[in-house]
Amino acid sequence: MSFPAAAAEALGDSQLRRNLRKATSTIRAKREGAVAELADWEQLRDAGEQIKAHAVAHLDVHLEQLERSVSAAGGTVHWARDGDEANRIVADLTRAADSDEVVKVKSLTTDETGLNDALARRGIAAIETDLAELIVQLDPADRQSHILVPAIHRNRQEIRALFAQHLPGNEGISAEPTELAAAAREYLRRKFLTVKVGVSGANFAIAETGSVGVVESEGNGRMCTTLPETLITVMGIEKVLPRFSDLEVMLQLLPRSSTAERMNPYTSIWTGVAEGDGPRDFHLVLLDAGRSAALADPQGRSALHCIKCSACMNVCPVFERTGGHAYESTYPGPIGAILSPQLAGMQAHTDLPWASSLCGACYEVCPVKIDIPSVLIHLRQKVVEQGDGPAAERLAMEAVGRVFNNRSRYERAQRAARIGARPFSRDGKIEARLPGPLKPWLDHRDLPAPPKQSFREWWRGRA
């Protein structure tokens, strides 16, 4: 389904809009308070931008160093060209560990590769341990709709119904958050203590030391990365940072921008394996899956700077009204509109660069200062140049270009527009319904009527 069609469907769901409005406004307000506590917030943003720009510009060097560092610390590095290869590596490692289950930390990268379904086809069950991801997983027809809060489209009553239906012994559970959390904790604790393989994503990996880090708020990540005998981390290649000291900046930017906290309750950082402490085997799967292609675009590559905080979604007027499902991608919202087309290919998401009003709110809150509106415009140009945009729009723009390119044609068009608009004009605005494809323009806009006299005509009259 195209974004316009999916968005129109979402706009018709009043409960969804209420859920989204309440959640995004709450997160937005909390973030503003957390950011206001730091007098040097803008300097931190500048530092974050520079760190990510340097890391991405020298990605080959840092990735090779990361592989050497992880190997020296007793881990094993695997390289995956695409999602299918990454999924196969994880499945083979799970089978080698003699397990038919894995416990998972919330991981956008494995959502991107479709790991859960790929493992299921191999007879391996993936258990989501993040509360919001668990909620989504309990409904086979559901999908995550937000980078940070995957179940943002659900309210308490909907979650209560899911737990009552799918978690044994909870048929009479209430909608109180504490009771819902306790039920999930009881279910997951048994899995943590028995499953041999853990699968995680990574917020950052450090080339200098081979360290990998996950930040989270519930403690499930700490369980998944320390209790299983085998730990498999699947990480997009853009997550690498050059130096351990870079975390000083990133671990201030990320929690305030994502959960509005001074620091995440759980920050887990591990380096390889250690005798008698944590997993006995550690595997790092480095995923490309379109990232090298994005890196080759000097204007589009800044999308790879993203640290997945979700701040851009919580301020986006489009996301707040349509939700994440309308984007048909693991990465929704403003960042998804520039990242998804580059990772999956422009043909797969030709609508997404237009899923924005270009208001600029996303750039204002981005902790690493990604200029999302500029990249959106760049990608729109690429869609048009590749001939993937709507045919009618392309023909219309070509016609406008020919008119604007010639002074006499332009002046004739002005006169024709003035005459043609008269029947539809009231008090300086076009208020009547226009025919055909022009009709939607007036559904949400005030369109000024052409002036009675152009500037050129006025100027000639004064000569």
Mean per-residue pLDDT pooled into runs of 10, the chain (463 residues): 88 89 91 95 98 97 98 98 98 97 94 96 95 88 82 88 89 90 90 95 97 93 95 98 97 94 93 93 98 95 96 94 92 96 92 94 97 96 78 76 88 84 78 66 74 85 79
Torsion of CA 98, 116, 218, 241, to 10 degrees: 90
Q: What are the beta bridge partners of residue 197?
A: 230
pLDDT at 432: 63
| Alpha-carbon span 65 to 67, nearest angstrom | 5
Query: What's this model's pTM, rounded to 2 decimal places?
Result: 0.85
Domains of the chain listed by start with CATH number: 38-289 (3.40.50.10420), 292-385 (1.10.1060.10), 391-462 (no CATH)
| Alpha-carbon span 326 to 8, nearest angstrom | 9
CB atoms within 10 A of CB 366: 26
Determine how β-strand 76-80 pairs with β-strand 211-216.
unpaired
* Residue count of the chain: 463
Could you tell me the end-to-end alpha-carbon distance of the chain, in angstroms, rounded to an integer? Answer: 57
Output Rg (C-alpha) for the chain, integer angstroms. 25
pLDDT at 437: 64
Q: H or E segment at 66?
A: helix 59-72
Instruction: Identify which of 22, 26, 24 has the alpha carbon closest to the alpha carbon of residue 319.
Output: 24
Collapsing DSSP to helix, strand or coil, 167 comes out as coil
| Alpha-carbon span 435 to 421, nearest angstrom | 12
Cβ neighbors of 294 (< 8 A, separation 6 or more) are: 300, 301, 303, 304, 339, 342, 343
Residue 233 to residues 58, 63, 218, 291, Cα–Cα distance (Å): 22, 15, 19, 18
Determine how β-strand 429-430 pairs with β-strand 447-448.
antiparallel
pLDDT at 66: 98
CB atoms within 10 A of CB 283: 22
| Alpha-carbon span 98 to 101, nearest angstrom | 9
pLDDT at 327: 94
| Alpha-carbon span 226 to 270, nearest angstrom | 9
Collapsing DSSP to helix, strand or coil, 192 comes out as helix
Supply the DSSP string of 220-278, one letter for each residue. Answer: HHHHHHHSSSEEEEEEEGGGEES-GGGHHHHHHHHHHHHT--SS-SEEEEEES-BTTBS
* DSSP summary character for residue 423: G
Instruction: Identify which of 235, 230, 234 has the alpha carbon closest to the alpha carbon of residue 197.
Output: 230
Instruction: Identify which of 250, 274, 279 has the alpha carbon closest to the alpha carbon of residue 263.
Output: 250
| Alpha-carbon span 379 to 367, nearest angstrom | 22
Specify whether the CB–CB gap between 272 and 70 falls below 8 A.
Answer: yes
Task: Provide the CB-side half-sphere exposure for 394 (13 A, CA).
Answer: 12
| Alpha-carbon span 59 to 73, nearest angstrom | 21
Cβ neighbors of 50 (< 8 A, separation 6 or more) are: none
CA 403 to chain CA mean position, Å: 40
Q: What are phi and psi of 74, to 5 degrees?
A: 95, 5
| Alpha-carbon span 284 to 232, nearest angstrom | 6
| Alpha-carbon span 258 to 389, nearest angstrom | 34
Determine how β-strand 425-426 pairs with β-strand 211-216.
unpaired
* DSSP summary character for residue 369: -
Specify whether the CB–CB gap between 66 and 205 falls below 8 A.
Answer: yes
Q: What are the beta bridge partners of residue 230?
A: 197, 281
CA 204 to chain CA mean position, Å: 16
Collapsing DSSP to helix, strand or coil, 26 comes out as helix
pLDDT at 435: 65
pLDDT at 455: 87
Residue 306 tokens read as 């993203």
* DSSP summary character for residue 390: -
Q: H or E segment at 79?
A: strand 76-80
